[in-house]
Structure 1
Amino acid sequence: MLPSITRPALPLAAATALVGGLLTLAVPDRAGAAVPDTVPLKITNNSGRSGPVYVYDLGTQLSSGQQGWADENGAFHAWPAGGNPPTPAPDAAITGPAAGQSKTIRIPKFSGRVYFSYGQKLDFRLTTGGLVQPAVQNPSDPNRNILFNWSEYTLNDSGLWLNSTQVDMFSAPYAVGVQRSDGSVSSTGHLKSGGYTGFFDALRGQPGGWSGLIQTRSDGTVLRALSPLYGVETGALPANVMDDYVNRVWQKYATATLTVTPFGDRPDTKYYGRVSGNVMNFTDSSGAVVTSFQKPDADSVFGCHKLLDAPNDQVRGPISRTLCAGFNRSTLLVDPNQPDTSAANFYQDPVTNQYARAIHARTADGKAYAFAFDDVGNQESLVHDGSPQQAYLTLDPLS
Structure 2
Amino acid sequence: MVSRRSFLAAAGSVTAATALSPFTPFASTAAAAGVSLPVKLANNSGQDTVYAYISGSDSSGWPVFVSANGALNRLPNPSSPVTPIADYSIALGASGSAGVTVNLTDYVIGGRVWFSVGKKLQFFVNPGNPPGVVQPALVSSDPNWATNWTFCEFTFNSANLYANISYVDMVALPISMASTGSGGNQSVTPLPAGALASIASGLQAQHATDGAPWDRLVVTDSSGGVLRVMSPSHSPVDFGGYWDDYLNRVWSHYASTPLTINGQGSIGSYTGTVSGNAIVFSGLNTNGVPFTKPSAVDIFGCASGPLYNSGGDARGAIAARLAAALNRSSLLVSGGNNQPDGVTPSQYYQDPITNHYARLVHKYASIGYAFPYDDVGPTGSAPVDGHIQDGAPTSWSITLGAGASGGNPGGGGGVSAYNTIQAESYSAQNGTTTESCSDTGGGSDVGYISNGDWLKYSSVDFGSTSPSQFKARLASGAAAGVSGAIQVRIDSTGGTKIAEIDFANNGGWQNWQTIPANVVASVTGVHDVYLVFSGSSSDFTNVNWFTFTR
**What TM-score do you get using the length of structure 1 for normalisation?**
0.84
Equivalent AA in structure 2 for residue 220 of structure 1: G
1:80 matched to 2:76? The reply is yes
Partner of 2:96: 100
The structure with the larger Rg is 2
The 1:13/1:205 distance shift into structure 2, 3 A limit, reads: closer
Q: Percent identity?
A: 38
Change (3 A) 1:94 1:343: same
User: How far did residue 296 of structure 1 move?
Assistant: 0.5
Amino acid at match of 2:399: T
* CA offsets 1:344-378 (integer angstroms, 9 cap, x no match): 12211111111111111111xx3212111222232
Residues 55-77 of structure 1: per-residue CA shift (max 9 Å, x gap): 1111111x211111112333211
How has the CA–CA distance of structure 1 residues 18 and 119 changed in structure 2, closer, same or farther, with 3 Å as cutoff?
A: closer
Alignment of 1:39-58 (within 5 A): 39-50=37-48, 52-58=49-55
Instruction: State the SS of the aligned residue for 2:228.
Output: strand
Residue identity matched to 2:298: S
Once residues 25 and 126 of structure 1 are traced to their aligned partners in structure 2, the CA distance between those partners, rounded to angstroms, is 14
Equivalence for 2:2: 12
Deviations for 1:193-242, whole angstroms, at most 9, x for unmatched residues? 432221212112113321121112233232112210111xx21x532222
Instruction: Trace 1:1-399 onto structure 2 (pairs within 5 A).
Output: 12=2, 21=12, 37-50=35-48, 52-61=49-58, 63-101=59-97, 102-107=99-104, 108-110=106-108, 111-129=110-128, 130-137=132-139, 139-181=140-182, 183-188=184-189, 190-207=190-207, 208-231=212-235, 234-235=236-237, 238-263=239-264, 265-266=265-266, 269-284=268-283, 289-290=285-286, 292-307=290-305, 308-334=307-333, 335-340=336-341, 342-363=344-365, 366-377=366-377, 378-396=383-401, 397=414
Q: Is 1:176–1:391's contact at 8 Å kept on the other side of the alignment?
A: yes
SS at match of 2:323: helix
Deviations 1:172-198 (A, max 9, x none): 12123332426422324x223432221
Q: Say if 1:395 and 1:320 are closer, same or farther in 2 by CA, change over 3 A.
A: same
Equivalent residue letter for 2:274: V
Gap change, CA 1:68 and 1:193, over 3 Å in 2: closer
Q: Indicate if the aligned counterparts of 1:283 and 1:290 stay in contact, CA closer than 8 A.
A: no
- Give deviations 1:111-148, integer Å, cap 9, x for gaps: 121111001111111112410111132x2210011000
Residues 53 and 119 of structure 1 are in contact (CA less than 8 Å); yes or no, is this contact kept in structure 2?
A: yes
1:326 and 1:332 in contact (8 A); partners too: yes
* Alpha-carbon distance in structure 1 between the residues aligned to 2:361 and 2:34: 35
Greater mean deviation of Cα atoms: 248-257 or 152-161: 248-257
Letter in 1 for 2:169: D
| Contact 2:254 2:274 survives alignment (8 Å) | yes
When structure 1 is superposed on structure 2, of 161-170 and 17-26 the one drifting more is: 17-26
In structure 1, how many angstroms separate the alpha carbons of the residues matched to 2:146 and 2:135? 15
- Give the Cα separation in 2 of the matches to 1:289 and 1:182: 41
Give 1:43 deviation, angstroms: 2.4
Match of 1:252, as an amino acid?
A: H
For residue 24 of structure 1, report the CA deviation from its aligned partner.
Answer: 8.0
Structure 2: stretches of 5+ with no match in the other structure? 18-32, 378-382, 402-413, 415-426, 428-457, 459-550
CA distance in 1, matches of 2:199, 2:46: 19
Equivalent in the alignment of 1:6: none
Aligned to 1:30: none
Aligned residue for 1:31?
A: none
In structure 1, what is the Cα distance between the partners aligned to 2:16 and 2:46? 34
CA distance in 1, matches of 2:231, 2:168: 6
Shift of the 136–257 alpha-carbon distance from structure 1 to 2, 3 Å rule, reads same
Q: Partner residue of 2:501?
A: none
Contact 1:347–1:354 (CA<8 Å) still a contact in 2?
yes
Report the AA paired with residue 149 of structure 2: F
Amino acid at match of 1:197: A
Q: Secondary structure at the match of 1:389?
A: strand
Take 1:282 and 1:205, find their aligned partners in 2: how far apart are those partners? 39
Distance 1:131 1:238, change over 3 A: same
Pair 1:16–1:218, CA change in 2 (3 A): closer
CA contact (8 A) 1:58 1:69 kept: yes
Q: Secondary structure at the match of 2:319?
A: helix
Q: Secondary structure at the match of 1:205?
A: helix
Whether the aligned pair in 2 keeps the contact of 1:83 and 1:126 (CA below 8 Å) is no
The whole-number CA distance in structure 2 between the counterparts of 1:182 and 1:112 is: 21
Kindly provide the amino acid, as one letter, of the partner of residue 199 in structure 1. I
More moved, 148-157 vs 245-254: 245-254
Contact 2:77-2:127 at 8 Å conserved across structures = yes
Distance 1:22 1:244, change over 3 A: farther
Residue 15 of structure 1: how far off its partner (Å)? 11
Q: Does the C-alpha gap of structure 1 residues 249 and 38 become closer, same or farther in structure 2, counting only changes over 3 Å?
A: farther
Aligned CA distance change for structure 1 residues 17 and 283 (closer, same or farther; 3 Å): farther
2-structure distance, mates of 1:164, 1:359 = 13
> 1:162 offset after TM fit, Å?
0.8
The CA distance in 1 between the partners of 2:350 and 2:308, in whole Å, is 25
Give the RMSD, CA atoms, in angstroms.
Answer: 2.8
| Partner amino acid, structure 1, of 2:243 | M
What do residues 261-291 of structure 1 show as CA deviations (whole Å, max 9, x unaligned)? 122x44x71122322111122233xxx5445
